[in-house]
Amino acid sequence: MSQRRRTTLVAASATLLAALPLSSVFATWAWFVDAVIMVAVITGIALGVRSLRTAAWVPTAATMLGLLFVLTVLFRSGHELLWLIPTPGTVGHFHSLLVNAGADMRELGVPVPDREGLLFLSTLGVGVVAIVVDLMTLVLRRPALAGLPMLAIYSVPVAVREDSVSFLPFAAGAAGYLWLLATDNVDRIRRFGRRFTGDGRDLGAWEPSPLAAAGRRLALAGVAVAVVLPMAVPGSNGGLLARFGPTAGDGTGDGLGRGGNGASVDLYAALSGQLNSNRTFDMVKVQTTDPTPYYLRFGVADDVTTAGFRSRRPAGSQPATGGLPAPAQEAGVTLRTYHAQVQIVSLNMNSLPVYLQPTRTGKLDSAWFYDRTDQLIYSRRDNSRNKKYDFDYVRAEFSPDALRTARPLEPDNPIQRQYTAVPPVGEVEKTVASITAGKRTPYDKVLAIHSYFSADNGFRYSLETKGGTSGSAIVDFLTNKQGFCEQYSAAMAWLVRAAGIPARVAFGFSRGSNQSGNTWTLTNRNLHAWTEVYFDRFGWVPFDPTPSAFVDGAPSAWAPDPSAPQNAPDTTAPRNDLPIPGGPDRSGAAAASGGPREDRAVDNGAGVPAAPADPWPVWSVLVAVLAVALLLTPAGWRALRRRRRRPGRRLTVPPPTVLGATVVSDDAAADLARRDAHDAWDELVDTMIDYRFPVDLASTPRVIAEHLIVSAALDEWATTGARLLGQAEERARYARQPLRSDDLAGSLRAVRDAISHRVSWRTRLRAVFLPASVLSRWHAAVNEALTRVAESMVRQRERWVRSLSPRRLLPGRRG
Amino acid sequence: MTTQRTQDELGRPMPPPEFRAVTEAIVANIERVIEGKTATVRLALAVMLAEGHLLIEDVPGVGKTKLAKALARSIDCSVRRIQFTPDLLPSDVTGVSVFNQEERDFEFKPGAVFANIVVGDEINRASPKTQSALLECMEERQVTVDGVTYPLQTPFMVVATQNPIEMEGTYPLPEAQRDRFTARIAMGYPDAGAELAMLDGHGAADPVLDLLPVSDAGTVRRLIATVREVHAADAVRQYAVNLVNATRESPELRLGASPRATLQLLRTGRAVAALEGRDYVLPDDLQSLAVPVLAHRIIPTAESQLSRRTTDAIVADIVRRLPVPADRQRSPYGTGTQYGTGRR
């Protein structure tokens, strides 16, 4: 019992150790306090209840109650009885906590602050894992399985953080798991007998056994390999675009709002998270005097490292409350001033979405500043939640001809230096060189790169990104040509930079399609990323390489949608007045918006490829067909065998003719009868195996038949049948003259019917779909093949060893 | 064991009905004396038809001698009885050359073995020296005395009784002689009903004395010829070989059964099949015979003796485990003896 108690404690400690990786998700250690309380209470309850020697399920049930109580106490809603007894109000509170946690997961980047919902979730998770580990270790006595829930905890930070998780928490979790395994094994060995050193001396309870040294070394080597190997493998900790994938997260956490009040939003994580969300919800309502507004913008990623594009902290101390610098008037640029009112419905950022280029803001307090470089309105203290504000802005329309006049920047220009820095990737440089070959002005180069991402060139919009093997995410994207706005915008920025032109990635909302009057409602599906390129004299000019058909994009004269028909860049404008449903279409949304979608496809004509046909119905049908076929294979095999064995099937041999032309000798007839009897008997034996009746190979047919009669309690008819089958087989095997009977098939049927009525429906089902006779044959065949392979390998190896052995060369020895 | 006689000397095989009638008559006759032991009686008869010798081993008083005598009396042939005692000499068994005063020559006086059925009572009370005298006659059906070989009559059968070797005043039989006995059977105590019937029947006089022969030596020879005709399929022969081989390979046994045992096993199997009215041997026959035919020939290891494993149990285990060969290739289930879990 004391050993059992010890194992319980070890299981609890192992759970806590395994939970340590969560520390890289949370900003503080408050979660750990909750987790310790939870695990301590659960362990205490388990110990206490077990000491009462109750039934095996009672401690588990009690720990579940304990879990509920701890959650109730730690996350009080105020509705509890005596602070302890949960009420329906508590359950509602829990539900709202979970909903909040879900929202936080979508919106926050790691490390997350101590939000109550997230703490609730982590405490609940740790508690459940503690219970499961306890169950596996103490009740089921399968501590190896306890590794699965521990792994589940570990997978949380791995999934959330795109960069590699520090190896320390992993090592801690692994150590906990190994500790648990070792404790259980020591326990098992001690129950078996004394532990000893191998040279006769007994071991103390805590002394490590020298006999287990190999196991310890193996465990240590395993952990070491798991830690060291990923460091040595190139590309496994993510290149540029890895962080743009659907599960991407800004691991470093220095998103826009590190300086804010803790609520940082990782732009990439938010973007992919929202685009992949099952739910569509309004985020921002904008009222603008501009009839065809461009993109609402709230973030910039301009710092590119090998780890990818990332946002920098906005800088600049110009208060956003007053007037803001207006863009300079250049030839070929049309400037129009508009006014916009924004109401944030659900967006929690430390910057405010605005149209470019804001010149004056209203209803904002002094917490908000303007970053001239990034053209962002940001705050270090406040956030955008439920903000309402308005601003004037100047919208610039660039004419291609004017942009063409822009010259390349001087190499020592700070903008040129800062925004063209890009890690060298050979493939990318080659691609850029081939795209921009023959283009002289920066604008032409950018335009060429922009058109490079067209559907004609094979690029395909999809929220599912494909991984690659090149080790570099940008090369993967350029190879696979499948992605969404994150990939498009970042790749274009990268290529433009590689061409020596300053570029950055901007975040915000596409124009959307939900318009009523001059009010635009933007949902999470309208979240978008695009590329901005810097031109001398003109400043930052937006280019959107993402096919506008998928993101309700706004076309521009200087950057026509590369996937739209080339000859009609201007006609795309009216198209956007169509009621296009919001957001990138996914399989779920497609059904709801089938009508308009088709309109759009027709409208786009041949130039724009229709949305890639959703392949999942085809796949799922295929998989289902395959699964059904797989399920039916053993049954079909069995039916085939049964058919082949039907007695009397061979009666089609030519009948003996009196004329003596073909005389069927007695031997032939006897052979026939013999084979019929054998077939019938084989079928009976297989049927017995299928229906899980024991068949003893050391028994004679007579004995097997008698056993069957007794164990299946056959009725009189079936008894006669079984005896007949047994006698027929017996005579066929051992007598000079086999038994000739036309009734074998009938007997077989009678016996099978009788047997199948005796067994449970589950056995019957299994006999049809997973007949043991067929499966065991296959199993035996596979085993035999494997044995043969293994034997031949051993032979080969021996031959090798012999041919390589230097002993062969020694005098007096023959190879 | 040498064959007793050629086909001609044995006579024609019998048609099945006649065979059945004769054997049933013999069994019924013996059962008038030994109540409730049909299986033992039939086995004894089977051993006789298999041209073998029978060893009846059991505790005193269960009817060993009675069975031997009843079997002998049921057949009208020469029957001799030897009471084995510790001072019995080999010459008492085989015969001795004595000097004939009238003819001034040595004359051979045949011993007790010169008969169709020899009942050796309490065989293990004689010394091994005397036992050895039986070796030649039992195996070769002849007696050699003073360089002259005398053949024995046919049918020739030794029916011996013995007490278990734990009993006082007994010698264990030499292996060579044990091996010459085709089968060892135990009588066992009669059940209550049979014992009651015995009280009624045996109250007045010994019923063995009233027993009349129902057959004769010639008939028995024909019965033997019939048994020889019984078909033993290849699979059955293989099974016999496998069974005997298994005893040689069993880790529980120091000495397995001899090739002679294989021969006698199959021969007795034929006799049992014929007694059951079949003209072919079944593995079932061999299974039922394995313990009587094999168990007395084998010697368990010291470990199995210490763990009180009887040879009967060891042989029964082997039978239970050994797969029955069929005369065709069908073993897709590997070599395991048991498949299917029995779970329903």
Is B222 a member of any domain? yes
Cα A724 to chain center, whole Å?
59
Residue B162 lies in a domain: yes
Closest residue by Cα to residue B188 from B24, B61, B16:
B61
Closest to A485 (Cα-Cα) out of A505, A512, A511 = A505
Alpha carbon distance A11, A142 (integer Å): 12
DSSP B160-171: EEE--TTSTT--
Please tell me which residue, A647 or A690, carries the higher pLDDT value: A690
Q: Do B191 and B308 share a domain, yes or no?
A: no
Q: How far apart are the first and last CA of chain B?
A: 50
Measured between alpha carbons, how far is residue A637 from residues A407, A630, A773, B156 in Å? Answer: 76, 11, 10, 59
- Hey, of B229, B281, B333, B335, which one would you mutate to test binding to chain A, going by the most A CBs within 10 A of its CB? B333
pLDDT per residue as tens digits for the range A437-453? 888 888 888 888 888 88
Same domain, B235 and B223: no
CA distance B9 to B154: 10
B338 falls within a domain: no
- Do B159 and B49 share a structural domain? yes
What digits encode the pLDDT tens for the residues B37-62? 888 999 999 999 998 999 998 888 88
Rounded Cα gap, residues A146 and A177, in angstroms: 8
Which two tokens mark A454?
A: 């067209």
In a domain, B203, yes or no: yes
How sure is the predictor about A712, in pLDDT bands with cuts at 50, 70 and 90? confident
Angle of helix A701-711 relative to helix A666-690, nearest 10 degrees, comes to 40
With an 8 Å Cβ cutoff, are A698 and B320 in contact?
Answer: yes
Contact (Cβ atoms closer than 8 angstroms) between residue B290 and residue B241 = no
Looking up residue B268, the CATH number of its domain turns out to be 1.10.8.80
Contacts of B315 in chain A (CB under 8 A): none
Residue B248 and residue B287 in one domain: yes
Boundary of a domain, candidates B214, B229, B244: B229
Partner residue opposite B342 with nearest CB, options A694, A700, A735: A694
Residue B339 covered by a domain: no
Task: Residue A783: list chain B partners with CB under 8 A.
Answer: 334
Residue position matching structure tokens 């007694």: B275
Residue from the list B235, B336, B338 with its beta carbon closest to the beta carbon of A733: B235
Q: Which helix (H) or strand (E) is B202 found in, with range?
A: helix B192-202
pLDDT of residue A614: 57
Domain of residue B197, CATH code: 3.40.50.300
CB contact under 8 A, B328 and A678: yes
Angle between helices A716-734 and B234-249 (to 10 degrees): 90
The residues that bridge with A482 in the sheet, in sequence order, are: A460
DSSP A7-55: HHHHHHHHHHHHHGGGGGTBSSSHHHHHHHHHHHHHHHHHHHHHHTT--
Quick one: closest CA in B to A682, which residue? B330
Closest by CA to A286, choosing from A381, A354, A219, A376, is: A354
Mean pLDDT of chain A: 77
Question: Taking residues A783-808, what's their average pLDDT?
Answer: 88
What's the rounded Cα separation, in Å, for the pair B174 and B160?
A: 14
CA neighbours within 13 Å on the CB side: how many for A569?
A: 12
Segment B164-169 shows an average pLDDT of 73
Q: What is the pTM of this model?
A: 0.51
DSSP helix/strand/coil, A390? strand
CA distance A450 to A603: 23
- Angstroms from A704 CA to nearest CA on chain B: 11
A763 vs B: CB within 8 A: yes
pLDDT at B294 over 90: yes
Using alpha carbons, select from B136, B130, B132, B134 the residue that is nearest to residue B86. Answer: B130
Q: Answer yes or no: is B123 within a domain.
A: yes
Report the candidate in A654, A643, A633, A652 with the shortest Cα–Cα distance to residue A683. Answer: A643
Q: Report which residue type is found at A315.
A: A
Considering only the beta carbons, identify the residue of A692, A735, A783 that sits closest to B231.
Answer: A735
| Block residue for tokens 């079984």 | A722
CB contact at 8 A, A546 and A484: yes
Question: Whole-angstrom Cα distance, residue B63 to residue B70?
Answer: 10
Please count the structural domains in chain B: 2
Tokens of A57: 């399920």
3-state secondary structure of A277: coil
What does the alpha-carbon distance between residue A168 and residue A82 come to, in Å, rounded to a whole number?
41
Q: Which of A458, A652, A694 is nearest to A562 (CA)?
A: A458
Q: Could you give the CA distance from residue B112 to residue B121 in angstroms, rounded to a whole number?
A: 12
- Most confident range, picked from A47-61, A305-319, A534-548, A777-791: A777-791
Report CB contact under 8 Å: A694, B344. no
| B180 plus B292 within the same structural domain | no
pLDDT tens for residues A248-306? 333 333 333 333 333 334 566 666 766 777 677 788 888 888 888 888 888 888 777 66
Is residue B66 classed as helix, strand or coil in its secondary structure? helix
Alpha-carbon distance values, A297 to A90, A329, A466, A520 (Å): 40, 22, 28, 14
B216 and B316 together in one domain: no
- Token code pair at residue B257: 């059964």
Distance between A674 CA and the closest CA of chain B, angstroms: 11
| Beta-carbon separation of B340 and A688 below 8 A | yes
Euclidean distance between CA atoms B263 and B270, whole angstroms: 11
Chain A residue numbers with beta carbons less than 8 Å from the beta carbon of B333 are 697, 776-777, 780
- Give B336's contacts in chain A (Cβ within 8 Å): 697
Contact present, B178 and B134 (Cβ < 8 Å): no
- 3-state DSSP of A324-389: CCCCCCCCCEEEEEEEEEEEECCCCCCEECECCCEEEEECCCCCEEEECCCCEEEECCCCCCCCEE
Query: What's the pLDDT score for residue B242?
Result: 93
Tell me the helix, strand and coil percentages in chain A, rounded to 5. Answer: 50, 15, 35
Model confidence band, residue A44 (pLDDT cutoffs 50, 70, 90): very high
At residue A630, what is the residue type? L
Q: Check whether residue B147 and residue B274 sit in a common domain.
A: no
Output b/e per residue, B64-103; b: 16+ Cβ within 10 A. Answer: bbbbbbbbbbbbbbebbbbebeeebebebbbbbeeeeeee
| Cβ contact A528:A521 at 8 Å | no
Q: Which of A203-212, A352-361, A626-635, B264-273 has the lowest mean pLDDT?
A: A203-212
* Contact between B333 and A691 using a beta-carbon 8 Å cutoff: no
Provide the shortest C-alpha distance from residue B22 to chain A (in Å). Answer: 24
CB contact under 8 A, A734 and B339: no
B244 and B219, same structural domain?
A: no
Instruction: Please indicate, yes or no, if residue B224 is contained in any of the structural domains.
Output: yes
Asked if residue B99 belongs to a domain, the reply is yes
* One domain, residues B304 and B205: no
The alpha helices in A193-248, defined as continuous H runs, are 213-232
Q: Is residue B81 domain-shared with residue B127, that is, in the same domain?
A: yes
For residues A698-719, average pLDDT: 88
Chain B CB within 8 Å of residue A778 CB: no
Least confident of A88-92, A580-584, A747-751, A799-803: A580-584
Residues of B in contact with A736 (CB under 8 A): 231, 279-280
Give the sign of the dihedral formed by CA A39, CA A42, CA A47, CA A50. negative
How many contacts does A have with B, using Cβ atoms within 8 A?
85
Query: Is the distance from CB of A684 to CB of B340 less than 8 angstroms?
Result: no
Output A226 or B274, whichever has higher pLDDT.
B274
Nearest to B159 by CA among B136, B187, B181: B181
For A638, the token pair is 């069995």
Percent of chain A at pLDDT exceeding 90? 9
Query: From CA B115, how far away is CA B153, in angstroms rounded?
Result: 6
Question: pLDDT band at A470, cuts 50/70/90?
Answer: low
Q: Least CB-CB distance to B339: which of A682, A695, A759?
A: A695
Confidence label for A579 from pLDDT (cuts 50, 70 and 90)? very low
Q: What is the pLDDT of residue B6?
A: 53
Q: What CA–CA distance (Å, rounded) separates B57 from B339?
A: 38
Residues B19 and B82 in one domain: yes
In whole angstroms, give the CA distance from residue A750 to residue A715: 9
> Which residue(s) pair with B57 in the sheet?
B162
pLDDT for A489-511, tens place per residue? Answer: 888 888 888 888 888 888 888 87
Q: How far is CA A672 from CA A652, A669, A676, in A?
A: 11, 5, 6
Omega prior to B155 cis, within 30 of 0: yes
pLDDT at B316: 93
On the question of pLDDT at A242 being above 70, the answer is no
Whole-angstrom distance, CA of residue A505 vs CA of residue B89: 120
Backbone angles phi, psi at A33, to 5 degrees: -60, -50
When pLDDT is averaged across residues A233-252 and rounded to a whole number, the result is: 39
- State the smallest CA–CA distance between residue A776 and chain B in angstroms: 7
Q: Which of B243, B322, B324, B338 to mutate to test the interface with A (most CBs of A within 10 A)?
A: B324
Helices A426-435 and A485-498: angle between axes, nearest 10 degrees? 80
Asked whether residue B107 falls in the same domain as residue B249, the answer is: no
| CA atoms in the 13 A half-sphere facing the CB of A212 | 15
**What is the domain extent for residue B198?**
1-229
Residue A777 in contact with partner chain B when CB distance is under 8 A? yes
Helix (H, G, I), strand (E, B) or coil at A810: coil
Q: Is the pLDDT of residue A548 over 80?
A: no
